Amino acid sequence: MTVITIELGLITPPIGLNVFVIKSMETNLKLGQVFKAIIPFIVMDIFRLVLLVAFPILVLWLPNSMG
């Protein structure tokens, strides 16, 4: 969950470090276009985070099955 939260922080404004890296690699894109393009990814990350908070057994299933 920590990794998902940090990932969201790195792609959402005002920080958006990953977005600035993409923008610097592709000079033809405007920053607004890049932020519009990542909206589906932000929505899915928030959905995944809510799902994992609501059903923690999804996170704990694999470690519990190894023991």
Which long-range CB contacts under 8 A does 3-10 form with residues at least 24 apart? 4/45, 4/48, 4/49, 4/52, 5/49, 7/45, 8/42, 8/45, 8/46, 8/49
pLDDT of 25: 92
pTM of the model: 0.76
15-51, pLDDT tens digit by residue? 888 888 888 898 898 988 988 999 999 999 999 999 9
pLDDT of 40: 95
Structural domains of the chain, count: 1
Domain that holds residue 30: 2-66
Provide mean pLDDT across the span 54-62: 89
Residue 18: count other Cβ atoms within 10 Å of its Cβ: 16
